[in-house]
Structure 1
Amino acid sequence: MNARPRLSIGLPVYNGEEYLAESLDALLGQTYEEFELVISDNASADGTQDICRRYAARDSRVRYLRLPRNIGASPNHNRVFAESRGELFKWASHDDLYARDLLRRCVQALDERPDVIVAHTGQAVIDGDGRVKVPYEYGLATDSPRPPERFRSLLFEPGGDDFYGVMRAEVLRRVKPLDSYHHADRTFVAEIALHGPFHQVPELLYFRRDHPNRAERANPDKRSRCVNLDPLRAGPLHPTPRLLAEYVWGFVAAVRRAPLSPADRRACHRHLAAWMASRVRPGAGERVEDRAPVDPALLTVSVDALVAGREGGRA
């Protein structure tokens, strides 16, 4: 592929053979086709390389890169963005699923709303077989015209997976790259939100897979999760208190770097102080995937009907 694509999708992967082909089918089966798919293989030791090479051989939009050693999830996420060429960018996970119209609807939203810097869609948590466990009703105020309100909402409301939305690459280049301390993805998205509003397409098109081998599940404590993000976090120089302190400082630094008025900066600092005080309360840090599963009989969405490659269900 020589022409510059409108959209770049970056897919970092490590030992993802179990669900990788399903995710690639879902991405390559999108109704919006003007994109490149940059895959960076973090020195996988399973069948990931064979799967990636097979897809790259049959679809010119796929660019497969393989690292000689595991550099960690965060540097690999930054690498796929650095390798991208599009004016729009989206991170993709090797185990999630994407309805056929996800890219088309997000790109359309960005084209229609020049002020919006991230577009995403409705989402649900699915299990290993692709069955919906928990539909998620997006309640964040990331569409507010006021930066402090967007920041406050991202501090206090659980999950939205805006990290996996379609973003304007020029804005991504203005913020600090993804780090590897505890919840670094949250401070990263919060800094992006200080640059402009997000838009949520009101359709359920994104399916985040929760399974025992997902990084968050396979690494149950903060330190192991951070070492997964970057092996350099291993060792006595990165104890849990430091990882937590860096997390809090990540929000502070994001506010300092963002193009805010003095009044908006003060408002963000007030929200941050209130959030820090709230962390000592029971129930702080709720995760969407830990909510009770819904009754399947009440669901009206069919993953198999929406996602390319799932027409007959998972084999």
Structure 2
Amino acid sequence: MTAVPRLSIGLPVYNGEEYLAESLDALLGQTFEDFELVISDNASTDATESICRRYAARDSRIRYLRLPRNIGASPNHNRVFTECRGELFKWASHDDLYARDLLLRCVEALDERPDVILAHADQAVVDGDGRVKVPYEYGLATASPHAPERFRSMLFEPGGDDFYGVIRAEVLRRVKPLDSYHHADRTFVAEIGLRGRFHQVPELLYFRRDHPTRAERANPSKRSRCVNLDPRRAGPLHPTPRLLAEYVWGFVATIQRVPLSPADRRECYRHLAAWAASRVRPGSGERVEDRAPVDPDRFAVSVDDLVAGREGRRA
């Protein structure tokens, strides 16, 4: 590994003891090895610290940082990026799983396509045991050379976890840091998408774990999710209507902030207006994880065969 790694992985975590070791095994078992893994522990009160220190003692690529108090998920995501040094960057989740070739395929895609700013791979939702619940095809037009088309697809199409792709760090530094209003991650990724094309590697390499303690499940209301993102959102100054208004304004501000031609800017505003009108209709806002699950025993791909650390689980 070089003194300054090619890729930085930022892993923000809070009370992740249940699945953290599995995710660390999957990341450290990648076929692409020139990376650093920066873990920012948001003052966890469970065994997260001991797990992180045990893995850091084994692998010099890990840098473990512990916050003295819980600053919220969004500030912790932003903080871990500022701590990273690589020319490429990826956020990782403490509970997701990563096939051995995920980083390699994404880095190769960026090297082969200098105009692409983010690369990710096909994905599936898995349950707490790592068994596939919902495989899904990537349907977003983020590879389009036309910025308004990319923006429209990110507004209307469900699915895609581009937030967890491999991103060119110099582009990410120009993006407004992740906020903490309702669906702030969507406006964040929309800004990345307006700044350049994405590439989707056509291999099933990323597995997003859906379980009862995942932040979205553990915080069922919009307000509770936003307070989880940033404790400063608690209290009467941040009612739900404000959190929703900030969400819509986040898209507007993104269109204003990104360098676009006047024609492209107008087209983005038209797509945003159509999206806002569609949100008032019943059935809007489909979530991939809420689709009908498949029978995991009939699924052709084995997560245990693809992910480091899970060898022999089916035996």
- The Cα shift of 1:297 comes to 4.2
- What percentage of aligned pairs have identical amino acids? 87
Answer whether contact 1:129 1:314 (CA < 8 A) is retained.
no
Shift in CA distance, 272/217, structure 1 to aligned 2, threshold 3 Å:
same
Are residues 1:20 and 2:20 paired?
yes
Name structure 1 gaps, 5 residues minimum: none
* Counterparts of 1:297 and 1:213, CA distance in 2: 24
Structure 2: which amino acid aligns with 1:176?
A: K
Q: Are residue 179 (structure 1) and residue 191 (structure 2) matched?
A: no
Q: Report the TM-score, using the length of structure 1 for normalisation.
A: 0.99
- Letter paired with 1:53: R
Q: Tell me by how many angstroms 1:312 deviates.
A: 2.2
- Which one is further off, 297-306 or 144-153? 297-306
Q: Which residue of 2 aligns with 1:169?
A: 169
2:7 paired with 1:7: yes
SS in 2 for 1:36: strand
**Cα distance in structure 2, aligned partners of 1:314 and 1:268:** 48
Instruction: Name 1:116's counterpart in structure 2.
Output: 116
Which residue does the alignment assign to 2:141? 141
Equivalent residue number for residue 287 of structure 1? 287
Amino acid at match of 1:208: R
- Once the two structures are TM-superposed, the CA of residue 281 in structure 1 deviates from its matched residue by 1.1
Amino acid at match of 2:158: P
Q: After superposition, where does 1:97-246 map in structure 2 within 5 Å?
A: 97-246=97-246
Aligned to 2:46: 46
In the other structure, the counterpart of 2:248 is 248
Aligned length: 315
Moved over 3 A (4+): none
- What residue identity is the alignment partner of 1:188? F
The structure-2 alpha-carbon separation of the partners of 1:314 and 1:251, relative to structure 1 and needing over 3 Å to count, comes to: farther
**Counterpart-to-counterpart distance in 2, 1:169 and 1:199:** 16
Distance in 1 between the 2:314 and 2:288 partners?
A: 24
Q: How far off is 1:295 after superposition?
A: 2.3
Name the structure 2 match of 1:79: 79
Structure 1 residue 174: Cα displacement: 0.5
Cα distance in 1 between the residues matched to 2:259 and 2:32: 33
C-alpha distance in structure 2 between counterparts of 1:136 and 1:82, whole Å? 32
- The gaps in structure 2 that reach 5 residues or longer are none
Matched residues in 1 for 2:121 and 2:282: separation?
A: 30
Q: 1:82-133: CA deviations, max 9, x gaps?
A: 0000000000000000000000000000000000000000000000000000
The question of whether the paired residues in 1 share the 8 Å contact of 2:139 and 2:159 is answered with no
What secondary structure, in the 3-state scheme, does the structure 2 residue paired with 1:117 have? strand
Instruction: Report the CA distance between 1:296 and its aligned residue.
Output: 2.6
